[in-house]
Each structure stands twice: as structure tokens, then as C-alpha cells.
Amino acid sequence: MPDGRKMSERLKGVESRHDSSRWRLPEPLAVCEAHGSDGTPIILRRHGNPEGPRLVLSHANGLAADSYYPFWSLLCDRFDLVLYDLRNHGWNPVGDLRRHNILTFVRDNSSVVRSIDRFFGVKPKIGVFHSLSAVTAVLQSVEEKGFAALVLFDPATCANARESQDIRKMSSLMSEKARKRQDRFERCEELTERLLRSRAFERLLPGAADLIARTTLRRVADGGTGYQLRCPREYEAQVFKELYSSAEAADIKHLSCPAKIIGADPMAPFSFLPSVELGDMVALDYDFVPETTHFLQLERPQECIDLMLGFLEDCKLA
């Protein structure tokens, strides 16, 4: 594990950014429209330092890349950041539910990788992915070499029968919960208040719940009032239903590039899923951030970055 004091020196002064008043998203340096495997628009946004090493970032099921601003804002000075949302999330329009599945996300990722090179120039890309986008990147990386390295935050994977049963049960419960969640709000603050009441989100940084609400809701279309989920609840539920089969297929031991896995505290309540089988920890580059849950990048972003930077520097990529 890297020396936390040494790593923190690189990010000296970022503590003030944890003030909730600072979670105001900057305008992107550039916005470009990529297209998924069936022509679906996928909006790319560039932030940070165009001269730096390139990081490509995406998000968990139901969230958006902008929701992670407390994390990626700390990287803007040093890295060239390209953010994108999975189809039917974030900046993207809502399309066909029948195509909203993990296999389609994997195909979309291949198009996104090529589009990033076309729009912003060719240089090594480091994928920085959380949860659903991490599983998608693993499935992509088993088949092709789109990234120079991957940093995977709390990916849902399973390597034995016990974990398979855990994930089968968890995916069914989460799908049912997503299908029943409130999908319309008079004010964004209503969703913020719901998040703050949830024990699953109780470790978020101040202001992060409000940021999640603002980045996962959009105004109701066609003259309606209030706000609706950018990723409709039935879309979120459908992906959670797939979680079991995708977690089984996500072979993190046979990737086409170096990878770092950074998990939630396996002993903390409301950790999402086991990130990696205990027996594989020696073979894999695995760490966890103590006293964090599945949303570790929004709870202890500096510690997450410390671990990430140590890996990238070892790989001579930062």
C-alpha cells in the first residue's frame, strides 16, 4: 500500500473542496457526440488538463459521471479527463428499453474508445470506472485492448458458488427496489432528502447527496412540472436484474491491460458486494479504503486517489 502522507502531498489543499458549496460543476472544455453500437448518442465531455495523461471516467447504475465531481475535481490539474454516461443515463437521451443491457454497454464502450481518439487525439487511455461501468470495462477488456490500464472501484464480480448465490439474491432485491422507487419529484431537494435518510448514503461527503440529485434528475419534458429520473426506474431495475450473469462473466484475472481494484471496506455495513474473492487478493492488485461503502469515491475521494496514483506511477502512466 502506498505511503498515504507522500500521496497526500500531491493533493495538498484539496480539503477545502469538500465544502458542499464547492460542488458546482464547471463547464466542459469540449462536448462531443459519440454514438453507440446502434447509433444512440453518447455525449463525451472533456475537463481538466489537456496536456496531462488521459483518464476516462464513468459511473454506477442509475448515477451519472457528473455525480462523481468530488472525486474527479481533484484530478483536473494533473489529468486530461474525458467523462461519459452509459446510454440512458446522465447527459444522454432515453432510448429503447430493449437495448438497455450490459452487452450493449460493452459494445458502446468500444465505440466510445474510438470516438475519444478521433475527437481529442490519440494517446494512452486509463479507464477509471465504478460498479456497473467497471464490470462493463472488464467484459470489454477481456475481448479487446482499449485501455492502457484500468482502475476499478468496487466492481461486482464473483468467483465461487457462495458469492454467486449472494449476488443472485442481491441482484433480485435491488432490481425490485429500483422498480418501486419514486421517479417524479416536485423539487430536486426531495430526492436529496430521500438520499440523506438512507443508511446506504450516510457516509457521503457534505453536499454529495444534493449533487447526486442534481445530476440524476431532469425537468419533466413536454410541458410537465417537476423533475424525473434521467435513467428511468425500469431501466435501472433491468440492469440490476442482469447483475448476476454479468458478475459471473466478469473475469478480472484475464484482462488485456494492468488493472487496480479498489474496493469498499468489506467489514463496513452497507458495502455493496464483494469486489474480489479473498483467495485472489494475492494474485490481483487489490486494495480497499477503510470505513467506506460502495460509494467510496464520494465518501473518501482523496484516499481513493492516493491508491490510484500509486498504481499509475508504478505503471509509468502518471
Render pLDDT for 243-297 as a digit per residue (tens, 0 to 9): 767 766 667 777 889 999 999 998 876 555 555 555 555 567 889 999 999 999 9
Q: Is the residue at 110 inside a domain?
A: yes
Rounded CA gap, 9 and 301, in Å?
A: 15
Residue 211 resides in a domain = no
Residue 165 lies in a domain: no
Whether 16 is in a domain gets the answer yes
Residue 250 is predicted with a pLDDT of 67
pLDDT in tens, 202-253: 999 999 999 999 999 999 987 788 999 999 999 999 999 887 677 666 677 7
Q: What Cα–Cα distance (Å) separates residue 285 from each residue in 185, 213, 293?
A: 42, 33, 19
The region of weakest confidence among 49-58, 175-184, 263-272 is 263-272
Q: What is the CATH number of the domain that holds 116?
A: 3.40.50.1820
Lowest mean pLDDT among 84-88, 144-148, 255-259, 276-280: 276-280
What local confidence, expressed as pLDDT, does residue 234 receive?
98
Angstrom CA distances, 81 to 46, 78, 188, 281, stand at: 6, 9, 27, 29
Q: Which of 181, 179, 183 is nearest to 220 (CA)?
A: 183
pLDDT recorded at residue 269: 65
**Whole-prediction pTM:** 0.89
Quick check: 96 pLDDT over 70? yes
For 111, the domain range is 4-160+251-314
Question: Is 51 among the domain residues?
Answer: yes
Predicted local distance difference test score (pLDDT) of residue 163: 53
pLDDT classification of 158: cutoffs 50, 70, 90: low
Q: Comparing C-alpha atoms, which of 14, 148, 157 is closest to residue 72?
A: 14
The reported pLDDT for the residue numbered 87 is 98
DSSP for the chain, please give it: ---HHHHHHHTTTGGGGGSGGG--PPPPSEEEEEE-TTS-EEEEEEEE-TTS-EEEE---TT--GGGGHHHHGGGTTT-EEEEEPPTTSTTSPP--GGG-SHHHHHHHHHHHHHHHHHHH----EEEEEETHHHHHHHHHHHH----SEEEEES-----SHHHHHHHHHHHHHHHHHHHHS--EESSHHHHHHHHHH-GGGTTSPTTHHHHHHHHHEEEPSTT--SEEESS-HHHHHHHHHHHHHHHHH--TTS-SS-EEEEEE-TTSTT--S-SS-GGGTTTTTEEEETT--TTGGGT-HHHHHHHHHHHHHHTT--
Q: Which residues pair with 64 in a beta bridge?
A: none
Task: Output the average pLDDT for the chain.
Answer: 87
Whether 223 is covered by a domain: the verdict is no
Residue 187 is assigned to a structural domain of this protein: no
Per the domain annotation, does 188 fall within a domain? no
How are beta strands 80-84 and 125-130 bridged, if at all? unpaired
Is the pLDDT assigned to residue 121 strictly greater than 50?
A: yes
Q: How many domains does the chain have?
A: 1
Of 23, 124, 134, 40, the closest CA to residue 82 belongs to 124
Residue 266: per-residue pLDDT: 84
